Amino acid sequence: MRIEELRASYEQSLQEAVDRNDVYAMTHTLDEMTVSDVTAVIERMNPRDRAVVYRLLSKDRAAQVFDALDAELRGELVNGLTDKEVTAVLDELDPDDAVELLDELPAGVASKMLRTLDRSQRELTAIVLGYPRGSVGRRMSPQLIHVLETASAAEVMEHVRARSKDSETLYTIPVLTADRIVTGVVSLRDVIEAAPDTLVRDFMVKPEMVHARTPIETAARRCAEAKVLAMPVVDSEQRLVGIFTIDDALTVLEDEESEDLARMSGSEPLRRPYMSTSIITLMRSRIIWLLVLAIGATLTVQVLEVFEATLSQMLVLSVFVPLLIGTGGNTGNQAATTVTRALALGDVSPRDSFKVIGREFLVGLMLGLSLGTLGFLLTTAVYDFHIGLVIGLTLVCVCTMAATVGGVMPMAAQALRADPAVFSNPFITTFVDASGLLIYFGIAKLVLEI
């Protein structure tokens, strides 16, 4: 049986047991499910049923499921649990995960929950809370294994054994000076393979580090690009403050990609699984952008009204309006998506604006010449030479303009410290529609002399 079919079967059995309030059947079904199965199924349940099922999980499985849930669902689940149950959940969370949960809760509730932690957990959580939202310091773990550069491989192994339960990761170990300054990293594999009396400084490697106040997305991309399991997080004096792991980096990148895709398509990110999102929330995530785009579309209407007399003299021109503005919008969106992605990956930066403009201008011109030639030949064959010339020239100009604008807008947004995705496809489509019509009717008046 495929995973999807198996989970559908579990979901049906579990929901039926919940509806009957049959605790035995719920427990029996949960015992057959893996942690990933439980997570996938309860994400689709309503808040009340989700809390009921969660309470039936064993302590260890409950902690694993809670850790796998999206941040918003965690906050929602907490509202359905008692104070004692919430305290048990927090005790099992790593400090960075606890902070992510606290960020989703009202300030009063978060403060109350923070006070329920034991002293050591509260101190570790406070370290992470001390960094601004959106920084890697807010997502790092202060629980880590580190060693001095003068330690031997045998001493490192003994230290790893003693601290393994309290560390976020065992596989990347920062190496420090006596002043806690990071000078290198060693992998657990290197430690195991080294002779017991070999000093760490003799086989450590140069570290990939990140400053605690670095934007979280930047840190996540650096971690992924460097292909490391973890990166030491340091303060302004290069002193170790925490560790940022690849699993957190991949979660950040997944969230950022979902956000960019949503905004480029003209909606707000849901920040939670689709099936657990209410109809009202889905509507709200889209309505604002639709209103903005509808208002922007009035520009197109205004342009058509200005050239109403031109259309009345040559009605055939109206036939090509959807083709031309559609081609222009698609060309602009392609350029914007490509440049937005390049910005996200660090392939380009605002200082490359003029190079990007030049490249997109040439790409747009080449696309326009290709499509314009084809449009000219087909339109001339069906209508006449002059109409074909208008369509061909318009495609050349519109594609060139759209690609250039599509490349410029994400760069401008980045320079203004705005989200490039917000300034990409929706606004480009509106701008290109209006300007494309101006180009079209301008060329038509010149060629057809109307």
CATH code of the domain containing 246: 3.10.580.10
The whole-angstrom separation of Cα 397 and Cα 316 is 20
Widest distance between CA atoms in the chain: 92
**The pair of three-digit structure tokens given for residue 419, joined into one six-digit string:** 């989200």
Count other Cβ atoms within 10 Å, centred on residue 152: 18
Amino acid symbol at 165:
K
The CATH number that applies at residue 71 is 1.25.60.10
pLDDT score for 389: 93
pLDDT in tens, 32-83: 889 888 888 888 888 888 888 888 888 888 888 888 888 778 877 877 777 6
Cβ neighbours of residue 387 closer than 8 Å, sequence gap 6 or more: 316, 379, 380
My answer on whether 316 and 439 are in the same domain is yes
**The pair of three-digit structure tokens given for residue 87, joined into one six-digit string:** 């305290």
State the Rg of the chain over Cα: 29
pLDDT above 70 covers a percentage of the chain that reads 87
Residue closest to 392 by CA, chosen among 442, 430, 431, 443: 443
**What is the sign of the dihedral through the CA atoms of 262, 266, 270 and 275?**
negative
**What is the sign of the dihedral through the CA atoms of 106, 95, 246 and 77?**
negative
The whole-angstrom separation of Cα 7 and Cα 29 is 11
My answer on whether 314 and 209 are in the same domain is no
**Taking residues 221-233, what's their average pLDDT?**
90
The CATH number that applies at residue 345 is 1.10.357.20
My answer on whether 248 and 386 are in the same domain is no
Angle subtended at Cα 245 by Cα 239 and Cα 249, rounded to the nearest 5 degrees: 115
Taking the complete model, does pTM exceed 0.75, yes or no? no
Q: Going edge to edge, which strands form the sheet with 172-176?
A: 147-148, 172-176, 182-187
Residue closest to 401 by CA, chosen among 335, 354, 307: 335
pLDDT score for 371: 94
Pairing of β 172-176 and β 147-148:
parallel
Instruction: Using the predicted structure, report yes or no on whether residue 421 has a pLDDT greater than 70.
Output: no
My answer on whether 316 and 393 are in the same domain is yes
My answer on whether 300 and 363 are in the same domain is yes
Does residue 422 fall inside a structural domain? yes
Residue closest to 175 by CA, chosen among 164, 163, 188: 188
CA distances from 222 to 219, 256, 332 (A): 5, 14, 29
My answer on whether 238 and 169 are in the same domain is yes
Does residue 273 fall inside a structural domain? no
Task: Between 297 and 398, name the one with better pLDDT.
Answer: 398
pLDDT score for 262: 67
Residue closest to 212 by CA, chosen among 314, 290, 96: 96
Does residue 138 fall inside a structural domain? no
Q: Domain range spanning residue 360?
A: 278-448
Task: Between 227 and 99, name the one with better pLDDT.
Answer: 227
Q: Which of 230, 265, 300 finishes a domain?
A: 265
pLDDT score for 109: 66
My answer on whether 103 and 197 are in the same domain is no
Question: Using DSSP, how many helices (H) and how many strands (E) does the chain show?
Answer: 21, 6
Does residue 122 fall inside a structural domain? yes
Q: How confident is the model at residue 94 (pLDDT cuts 50, 70, 90)?
A: confident
Q: How many domains does the chain have?
A: 3
pLDDT in tens, 105-129: 666 667 767 777 777 777 788 888 8
My answer on whether 363 and 338 are in the same domain is yes
The whole-angstrom separation of Cα 183 and Cα 174 is 8
Q: What is the dihedral of CA 17, 18, 22, 28, to 10 degrees?
A: 60
My answer on whether 310 and 431 are in the same domain is yes
My answer on whether 72 and 94 are in the same domain is yes
Pairing of β 240-245 and β 172-176:
unpaired
Task: Please tell me the number of Cα atoms within 13 Å of 21 on its side-chain side.
Answer: 1
**Chain centroid, CA 221 distance in Å:** 11
The whole-angstrom separation of Cα 144 and Cα 159 is 11
pLDDT score for 266: 61
My answer on whether 253 and 283 are in the same domain is no
Does residue 388 fall inside a structural domain? yes
Instruction: Using the predicted structure, report yes or no on whether residue 339 has a pLDDT greater than 80.
Output: yes
Q: How confident is the model at residue 425 (pLDDT cuts 50, 70, 90)?
A: low
pLDDT score for 54: 87
Residue 240: which H helix or E strand, with range?
Answer: strand 240-245
Contact, 158 vs 152, CB < 8 A? no
Q: Which of 226, 241, 265 finishes a domain?
A: 265
Does residue 355 fall inside a structural domain? yes
Tell me the pLDDT of the chain averaged across its residues.
Answer: 83
Residue closest to 435 by CA, chosen among 305, 301, 300, 311: 300
pLDDT score for 83: 67
Does residue 272 fall inside a structural domain? no
Contact, 53 vs 43, CB < 8 A? no
pLDDT score for 313: 63
Cβ neighbours of residue 252 closer than 8 Å, sequence gap 6 or more: 139, 216, 217, 219, 220
pLDDT score for 323: 87
pLDDT in tens, 377-402: 999 998 889 899 999 999 999 999 99
Contact, 168 vs 141, CB < 8 A? yes
Q: Which of 214, 235, 265 finishes a domain?
A: 265
Instruction: Using the predicted structure, report yes or no on whether residue 176 has a pLDDT greater than 90.
Output: yes
Instruction: Using the predicted structure, report yes or no on whether residue 182 has a pLDDT greater than 90.
Output: yes
Does residue 382 fall inside a structural domain? yes
The whole-angstrom separation of Cα 393 and Cα 25 is 70
My answer on whether 199 and 285 are in the same domain is no
pLDDT in tens, 279-296: 787 777 677 766 766 776
